[in-house]
């Protein structure tokens, strides 16, 4: 089991110190970085390899691995035209996808920020971040809190809360990549998702506003099936519901070697990306599956989607769990 506690993890290009916090309980240890609130490592007793794709080099996270394991926000996924109307006022954001759309909140997203370690024990830590009004185009002075915890026998928990001084939009997700076999690709994993529909997208992966049923398509994962690279191609949001619900199991991933992960979330969607272009230094394509509980992408452009507006006096509260077994 990894050494529980706090250790230095280097300095950012701008010179800010970054720490690694390792939590442990039962058969599970998890390491979180203060940079990006990144889930850097997940280890299960009796399994020789890491279950998530990480790096021991901070420069990798500032470079090609910028989303690996990160807590992505204030708005994960895509916003069409890098613009949104919030309570009648248009706000414009960083058009960092194809020069046209917003992806993962742009360069000022929370994945690329150093968070403050507010509290830590052997089994839990809380990271906080203040986002100023207008940063990245988003309104409101926002206070973000991310509490990571590990619980026996092998559960990892994330609780994200946000408050704001002005009406804004919020949609956080953890962007970890998973390979339960420790193999060069995730081929042979079995995937099951409790969703009857997905959000349809155009050639630029922007939602069209339609949410077709998965029945009779390669994206039907309701009964669970073995998957492989391109079978099917995935950068897709599965629709779990029409709004935030109580915590419930929504996705099951099982490696060919018997390690299993169950994901529970309060969120109404889960994006799964096959990792075809998310390549770690020294590794190849399709090494891990990104599994991202969140609200549906581009919600401000589609009033019939579950909405992500947060107003003063309200609290955004996202809760996800990962449970592991062999």
Q: Where are the domains of the chain?
A: 5-325
Rounded CA separation 94/106 (Å): 5
Q: Which of 33, 53, 9, 28 is nearest to 127 (CA)?
A: 33
Residue 1: pLDDT band (50, 70, 90) is: low
pLDDT in tens, 36-75: 999 999 999 999 999 999 999 999 999 999 999 999 999 9
Query: Average pLDDT of 216-235?
Result: 97
Structure-block tokens of residue 59: 């420069």
Rounded CA separation 152/189 (Å): 25
Model-wide pTM > 0.75: yes
Instruction: Report the mean per-residue pLDDT for the chain.
Output: 97
Q: C-alpha dihedral over 176, 179, 184, 186, to 10 degrees?
A: -110
pLDDT in tens, 155-214: 999 999 999 999 999 999 999 999 999 999 999 999 999 999 999 999 999 999 999 999
Asked: is 5-325 a CATH 2.70.98.10 domain? The reply is yes
pLDDT in tens, 269-326: 999 999 999 999 999 999 999 999 999 999 999 999 999 999 999 999 999 999 999 9
Q: Is residue 154 a contact partner of residue 324, using CB atoms and an 8 Å limit?
A: yes
Q: pLDDT over 70 for what percent of the chain?
A: 100
Given its phi and psi angles, is residue 69 left (phi above 0), alpha (psi -120 to 50 degrees) or beta? Answer: left
pLDDT computed for residue 2 by the predictor: 76
Rounded CA separation 32/21 (Å): 5
Reply yes or no on whether the pLDDT at 121 is more than 70.
Answer: yes
């Amino acid at each position: 089991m990894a050494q529980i506690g706090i250790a230095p993890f280097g300095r950012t290009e701008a010179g800010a110190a970054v720490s690694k916090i390792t939590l442990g309980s039962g058969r599970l240890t998890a390491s979180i970085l203060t940079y990006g609130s990144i889930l850097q490592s997940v280890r299960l007793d009796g399994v020789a390899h890491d279950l998530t794709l990480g790096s021991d080099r901070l420069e990798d996270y500032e470079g090609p691995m910028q989303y690996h394991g990160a807590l992505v926000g204030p708005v994960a996924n895509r916003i069409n035209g890098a613009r949104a109307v919030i309570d009648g006022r248009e706000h414009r954001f960083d058009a960092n996808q194809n020069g046209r759309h917003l992806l993962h909140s742009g360069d000022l997203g929370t994945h690329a920020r150093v968070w403050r370690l507010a509290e830590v024990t052997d089994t839990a830590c809380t990271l906080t971040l203040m986002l100023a009004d207008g940063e990245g185009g988003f309104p409101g002075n926002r206070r973000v809190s991310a509490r990571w915890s590990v619980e026996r026998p092998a559960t990892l928990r994330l609780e994200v809360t946000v408050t704001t001084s002005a009406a804004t939009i919020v949609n956080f997700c953890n962007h970890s990549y998973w390979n339960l076999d420790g193999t060069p690709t995730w081929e042979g994993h079995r995937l099951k998702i409790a969703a009857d529909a997905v959000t349809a997208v155009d050639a630029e992966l922007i939602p069209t506003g339609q949410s077709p049923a998965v029945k009779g398509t390669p994206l039907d994962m309701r009964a669970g099936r073995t998957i492989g690279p391109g079978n099917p191609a995935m950068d897709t949001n599965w629709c779990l519901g029409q709004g935030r619900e109580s915590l419930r199991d929504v996705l099951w991933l099982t490696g060919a070697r018997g390690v299993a992960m169950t994901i529970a979330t309060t969120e109404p969607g889960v994006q799964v990306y096959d990792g075809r272009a998310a390549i770690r230094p020294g590794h190849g394509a399709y090494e891990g599956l990104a599994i991202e509980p969140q609200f549906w992408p581009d919600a401000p452009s589609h009033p019939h989607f579950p909405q992500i507006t947060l107003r003063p006096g309200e609290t955004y509260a996202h809760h996800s769990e990962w449970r592991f077994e062999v």
